Structure 1
Amino acid sequence: MKKGLALVLTVATFASATFVSQPAEAAGERLNAWQHCGIGAAIFPDNGTASAISNIIWDLGTTALTSATVSKETCNSNLVRTAQFIDENYEQLETDLAIGEGRHVDTLLTMFGVEHPDRAKFIQQLRSSLVIDDARSNSEKAQTLFYSAQNLLAV
C-alpha cells in the first residue's frame, strides 16, 4: 500500500511538473491537464495538488488528458478561458490591436492581468506578433496570439 501511494504521489508530482501546454507563464499560472482538467479539477477547483492526485488515483489522469485535448472548455483554468476568448473573438481582437485600443483588447488585457501602466507597451508588442496570412485559419492565428501574449508576460 505504501509503495502504491508513493507511486501515485511520484506520478502526480511528475505530472504537475511536466505536462504543461506551453512553457511560458501567464499571470503566474501554467496550464496543467492534471491540475486544471478532469474529475480532480471538478472536485478540487482551488487545489491543484489535490486535483492532480485525484486525477491520478481515479484513472491515471486519462480523463484529465482527454478533457484537456478534446474539450478544453471543461478545464478549470483562467488560461483556458482566455484562450477560448481569443479564439472566439479573434477577428475583433485583430481589429482592436491594429487600431491600438478597443473593448475586446481591453478584455484580453484584463484576462491576462496586464496592469494599466503596462497596457500601451503590451498592445504595441502584441501588434507586432499579429499574423496576417489568409492561408492560416483564425484559430491558428488566435493560437499564435495567445502564445505571443504568454511569452510577453513571461519576460
Structure 2
Amino acid sequence: MKKIVATAALSVGLIFGMGNAQARDFAEIYTDCGLGGLIAPNHGVVAVITNITWDLGTTAVSSQLSSPDTCKGGQARTAAFIYESYPQLENDLAQGQGEHFATLLSVAGCPADVHASVGSELRGQFAESVAQPSYSSKTRYELADQLHGQLHQVTGQDCSSI
C-alpha cells in the first residue's frame, strides 16, 4: 500500500512539474542539475556522465522539478568555490581585495558596479565573524557555510547566483 501511495504521489508531482522541466531541455537538465551539475559545473560532459552513471539522471530531473533555481548551478558553484578556496578568500577579505575575492563575486553573478559595496559589507561581516571566540574551532565546512550565508545576506538580489 505504501508503495502505491508513494508511486501515485511521485506521478502527480511529475505531471504537475513537467511545465518546469519542459522549460529547460534535457541537455541543460543533465549538465546543470543533479550531482553532475554540482560536481562538475563547468564540464558538461563530466556532469552528464556523472548524472547517468550515478542514478540514470533521476537526481538531475528531480532537482529540476523541486528546485529549478539551483539548477542554474550558481548557488552550488558559489558554495563549492567558497569551500575550495576558503583560505585564500580569508586572506583576500582580510586585505579587502584579491583575485579569489574578485572571482567569488564573479561566480556569484554580481555585476561589477556592486563589487565595491558588496566587498565592503561582506568584509565588515567577515571581520565580526573572525572576532568571535568560536571562529578558530569551526570546521572548514562551517566557516564556508557561514561565509556563503553572509554573502547571500549582503548581496540580496544584486547577484544572480546566490
Larger Rg, first or second structure (1 or 2): 2
Runs of 5+ unmatched residues, structure 1: 15-34, 42-57, 68-74
The aligned counterpart of 1:97 is 93
Q: Residues 140 and 95 from structure 1, CA distance in 2 versus in 1: closer, same or farther, beyond 3 angstroms?
A: same
The aligned counterpart of 2:50 is none
**What is the alpha-carbon distance in structure 1 between the residues aligned to residue 98 and residue 37 of structure 2?**
37
The aligned counterpart of 1:147 is 149
Q: Residues 122 and 62 from structure 1, CA distance in 2 versus in 1: closer, same or farther, beyond 3 angstroms?
A: same
More helix by share: 2
**In the alignment, is the contact (CA less than 8 A) between 2:37 and 2:73 conserved in 1?**
no
When the two chains are superposed, the root-mean-square deviation of aligned CA atoms in Å is 3.9
**In the alignment, is the contact (CA less than 8 A) between 1:87 and 1:142 conserved in 2?**
yes
C-alpha deviations, 1:51-97, integer Å up to 9, x for none? xxxxxxx99x9745999xxxxxxx77132122111101111101101
**What is the alpha-carbon distance in structure 2 between the residues aligned to residue 39 and residue 84 of structure 1?**
13
Deviation, 1:126, is: 0.9
Query: Matches of residues 49-60 of structure 1 in structure 2 within 5 Å?
Result: none
**What is the alpha-carbon distance in structure 2 between the residues aligned to residue 40 and residue 136 of structure 1?**
28
**What is the alpha-carbon distance in structure 2 between the residues aligned to residue 124 and residue 40 of structure 1?**
31
Q: TM-score, normalising length from structure 1?
A: 0.55
> Does 2:120 align with 1:114?
no
Aligned length: 109
Deviation, 1:103, is: 0.4
Runs of 5+ unmatched residues, structure 2: 1-7, 21-31, 39-54, 64-70, 158-162
Percent sequence identity is 31
Q: Residues 144 and 115 from structure 1, CA distance in 2 versus in 1: closer, same or farther, beyond 3 angstroms?
A: same
Aligned AA (2:15): L
Q: TM-score, normalising length from structure 2?
A: 0.53
